[in-house]
Chains A and B, each alone.
Chain A
Amino acid sequence: MSVNAPGPLGWRQVFAAQLKVCFLRRRRGQAIFLAFVLAQVVALAGFGVILGLNISIDGEETTVAMAPLENLEKAMNVSAEQAVSGLAIAFHIMAVFAFFFPFAIWSNEQPSKRGYHWAMPVDRRTHDLARVAAGVVMLLGMLTIVYGVSMLVSLVSGNSAGLGSLSLTFWLALFVGPLLPYALNSVLLVRCEHPAGWLWGGLGALALISTFSTVLHVKGVTRLIEIVFAGSWGLLQGIVGPIWSEWAGRPTTGGAEWLGVWVLWMALFVVGIVVAASARTRSR
C-alpha cells in the first residue's frame, strides 16, 4: 500500500489558511462594518453641509449657499484636541467591538461543533491559536480603517496639526489597547461551550460582588477589584492608559510603564488561551 505521508503543515500555512477562511466567513459582517464606517463619513459630510447651509431672508429673497468642503471644515472645526477626540472616541468604540469580536471569529464553532476544525491534519492547539491570531490581524485591519477615516476627517477639515504632536505611545495604544479585550474574551471562546453565558454570568457576578462589597464596606474586596481593574497595573490602564491621558490634554508620561502593564495582561491572556486550547484538547 502506498503512503502519501504528506505530514502536518507548517505554522505559517495554517495561519494563512485561517486568515483567509476567517475573512471569507465574516464577509457579511465586514460589509456591514465598512458600510457603517462609510455611513459615518457621509453623515459627517452631510452634517457639515447642513450646518454650513447659509439661508438668509432678505426681504422676499432667499439665498442658499452650499460649499461642502468649506462647510465641513466650519462645521467640524476640528481643533488639535478634537482630532485627538475623534481618534479617542473611535478607540473606545473599537475596544468594545474588539471584546465581542471573538464571537464572530468562532461563530457556530463552539467546542462541540469544532469537529471539522479539529479533524484537519494540524496540531489542535496550534490550529486554535492560528484562528485567534487570524482574528488579531483582522482586528488590526479594522482598526486601521476606522482610525484612517477619523484622520481623513481631520485632514479634510484642515486641522490635522494636532495629530503630529501625539506621542508614539498614544499611537501604539490605539492599536494594541483593543487587543486586550479581544484576548480576554478569546479565552472564553476557545474553552467554553456556552461563552456568552459565562461572559454575562461573570460580568453579573462581578457587578454583584462589587455592589455588595461597597454597600457592606468589605474593603478588601473593593480594594482588590480596584487594583485588578482600575489600579495603575490594572486592566483598564493596560487598555486605555495613554489614550485617556492625552485625551485629557496631558502628554503621556511613563510609556514604558504602560507598556509593562499591557505586556503583563497580554501575557496572562495568552497563557489563558494556550491553557484553554490545551485543556479542551485533553478533555474531549
Chain B
Amino acid sequence: MRPQLVKSLNGRPMAVSTRALTKSFGSQVALDRVDLTVPEGSIYVLVGPNGAGKSTTLNALVDLVRPDSGGIEVLGRSASEAGPAVRAEIGYVPETTDFGYGKLTARELIDHHSRYFAAWDAAYAEQLGADLEVVYDKRFGKLSKGQARRVQLVMALAHRPRLLLLDEPTDGLDPLGRDRVLEILADHAASSPTTILVSTHVIHELEGLGDCLGALRDGRLIAQLERDDLGDHLHRVRAEAAEGWTPSSDLVEQSLVRKASGRELDWVIWGDAEALPSRFAHEGAEVRDVARLNLEQATRAILRMEVN
C-alpha cells in the first residue's frame, strides 16, 4: 500500500484551508484539486518545482486569483467574500518586486502601505527597517532585488498580521541577508501570534523553521505532512541484495526513490526505522544503514517520487 503523504493537518484551528482548489489558465492546469491545510501558528513550507502552482496558490489565498472550483477559507472566512477584512490580517510578499511603484522611494512606499493598515506598528517598522538595513531614500525601482525584498518584508510584517504569505522571501538576498531574514522571521513568529506560509526553492534555509511541509507538482498537492511525521517516517535505506533481486510490490509501493548499483541499494522509503531492517531482511536484502532525512533531502525525495 502506498504511503499516505497528503494528510489533512486537522486537530487544531486552521489558518488556511482549501477544498479541491482548482484553477486553469487556458489549457494549462495550474492547480488540481488542492486540499491545503495550514494549522494556526505553524510555519508551513510549500515547495515544488517551477510552475508547480506555488505562486498561484498564494495568489488565490489573497484572492488575486479566483479558482475555477473549490473553496478557500483564510482565517476562518471566505477569501473572496470577506476579501478586504481578510487581507487586513495578511502580510503578503509576492514573487515579483515590479508592481508599478518603482518611482516611489522605499520610505514613501512603506509610508503609503502603512496608510492601509490600522494595526500598523510604526516603531516595529522602523526596527525591522534597521535590522534589515533597508535603503530608504532610493527609488524602489532602482533597488536590487534583494534590497527590494527587504522593503517588502517590512511592509508584510509591520502590522503584525495573523497570516504571513511569503513567496520566495529570500530570493535575491545575499547569504548574510538570507540569514538575517530568517532570524527576523523566527523572532517575529516567536513574538507575534502568526501563521507563516512560505513558498521556496531554497529548502535547506528553512530546515530549523518549518513545522509542516507541502509539496506541489504539476498543480497537484503530492505531500502534506507535519515536520515530525516526515522525520519519523521517511528514511534513506542503504542495503545489499543479490544480483537480480526483486522486491515485493508492497515494499516498492512504500518507497519514494529507488536506486541500485550492482548489489548496492539506495532507497528512500516510508516506514518506521526499527521495522525497516526486518522488512528488507524478510525479502532477502541486508540493511546496512537507516538514516533520517533532513527537510531538503525529504523534499527532493518527495518531488522525485512517481505519482499515479
B interface list, Cβ under 8 A from A: 13, 40-41, 59, 62-66, 83-85, 87-89, 92, 94, 96, 98-104, 108, 112, 115-119, 159-162, 193
Contacts and interface: CB of A to CB of B under 8 A. Distances in A.
Interface of A: 1-9, 13-14, 16-17, 20-21, 24-28, 107-109, 113-124, 282-284
A72 to B, nearest CB: 37
A20 B112 CA distance: 8
Contacts of B85: 5, 7-8, 121
Nearest to A27: B103
Contacts of A3: 89, 162
A27 to B, nearest CB: 7
A25 B104 contact: yes
B117 A6 contact: yes
Contact of B103 (A14, A24, A118): A24
7 contacts: A5-B88, A6-B88, A6-B159, A8-B84, A9-B118, A25-B103, A284-B64
Contact of B88 (A4, A108, A113, A114): A4
Contacts of B117: 6, 121
Contact of B100 (A1, A2, A113): A113
Contact of B87 (A1, A16, A17, A121): A121
Contact of B94 (A13, A28, A116): A116
A240 to B, nearest CB: 33
A119 to B, nearest CB: 5
Contacts of A27: 103
Nearest to A26: B103
A13 B18 CA distance: 33
A30 to B, nearest CB: 11
A284 B66 CA distance: 6
Contacts of A6: 88-89, 117-119, 159
Contacts of A119: 62, 64, 87, 92, 94
A109 B104 CA distance: 14
* Nearest 10 CB-CB pairings of A with B: A6-B118, A121-B88, A8-B84, A116-B99, A4-B119, A108-B100, A109-B100, A121-B87, A17-B115, A1-B193
